Structure 1
């Protein structure tokens, strides 16, 4: 499989490029998240889990579930919930299924396009998306689908890397993303383009306030909080 680097930002050309790229790094994807987050992504997921499960939902959909790290965490935190993970990269889902079997956790992992979710209107009490939203070809369309499949009062929780803030810390993060991470990723996986695209996709992603406004315009009452000096942000939208 060729080493492809998808375009960043919103683009109709992204889906096939994204599928090919993530298929090529599926076995190393969890390591990639550790590198991108400087090793603290699991603590962010715990925060997002608490927010997503605040009202003890009966049904939860994890969109762009990847290798199912977040779906597994949700199920462990609330065993009574039915947790479904959806992703359009079969190779990532297979890694997730292996992890679920090894941990003896009962979740459902299904192939599906985040911009055209294969679920009926008002199907879920809660919906999550961790570190996958910035890879969507259309943020607006993705939010519309989130809103459509949630029940009234349902919660959408988006955990993502916003663009680095201004100042010394932001400058250090940009240097790490643009220089150190691609080098490390290439050494570990041999897929330099993937480890170049992902930091670039962070730089092109809307800042937290802009994403909040996009969610509000879609029909969510939205708040957000920065995590680890703004290295990550978690948005919570309640369907009005």
Structure 2
């Protein structure tokens, strides 16, 4: 593995996300020009194509629950879902979205590196826009492998850097100049979105993330580039 952005300590990152929780969904939609909805759908499709019958599902770094609720809505069967985040303010937003549901939903404030679930207890795990915020991604992937049942799928959706020189230049300019300003205007927190910009630019490339899954023991790994490489899905199966 190469570089992983760890300038901020977990406690400061936790506090930062807490400060933007209430505006998080609105700001994400604005910053991504609503492309994040397409990326989220592709993440869900990746899981469902790999494992059509999910009974127990875990969403790590769940934030406001947008991914998890979309996954449950697309599922044909009743699911027991675990939504884990280290930020209580984010979980509070996720709880507020819960409606009368056929599914059993558990909200867990916890660490994605030390998942408080038994070994071989879930069929699918997702983490969207979160693994670059984890202090030790290797530890997180190891614990995901532990909690997955054989045949289970792990799918990561992360913001990444395009490889095309022209698109890469425009992307860098957007991250450095535009994103923090929009973050300040919509969430009143320029620093949080400066962190987002820095963490995207400093995190390991998708190829290294895929290699990490392979080295952990995942098989049938795939890397799916979205919107010219602005976002990428990396997935694998525990066989």
Are the equivalent residues in 2 in contact too, given 1:35–1:181 (CA < 8 A)?
Answer: no
- Distance in 1, Cα, partners of 2:206 & 2:62: 21
Matched, 1:19 2:14: yes
Structure 2, unpaired ranges of 5+: none
Deviations 1:74-124 (A, max 9, x none): 1101152222111110000000111123xx444322211101110111110
Structure 1, unpaired ranges of 5+: 1-7
**Aligned residue for 1:46?**
41
Paired positions, count: 231
Structure 1 residue 12: Cα displacement: 8.9
- Distance in 1, Cα, partners of 2:30 & 2:213: 28
Aligned partner of 2:150 among 152, 156, 171? 152
> What is the DSSP-based 3-state SS (H/G/I as helix, E as strand, rest coil) of the residue aligned with 1:100?
coil
- Distance in 1, Cα, partners of 2:136 & 2:31: 23
The list of structure 1 runs, each at least 4 consecutive aligned residues, that deviate by more than 4 angstroms after superposition, is none
Deviations 1:175-206 (A, max 9, x none): 11110110111112221100100011000111
**Aligned residue for 2:183?**
185
Matched, 1:69 2:66: yes
**Aligned residue for 1:111?**
109
- Distance in 1, Cα, partners of 2:43 & 2:8: 30
> What is the DSSP-based 3-state SS (H/G/I as helix, E as strand, rest coil) of the residue aligned with 2:204?
coil
**Aligned residue for 2:194?**
196
- Distance in 2, Cα, partners of 1:127 & 1:52: 8
Are the equivalent residues in 1 in contact too, given 2:141–2:213 (CA < 8 A)?
Answer: yes
Aligned partner of 1:219 among 214, 217, 220? 217
Calculate the TM-score normalised by the size of structure 2: 0.92
> What is the DSSP-based 3-state SS (H/G/I as helix, E as strand, rest coil) of the residue aligned with 1:53?
helix
**Aligned residue for 2:173?**
175
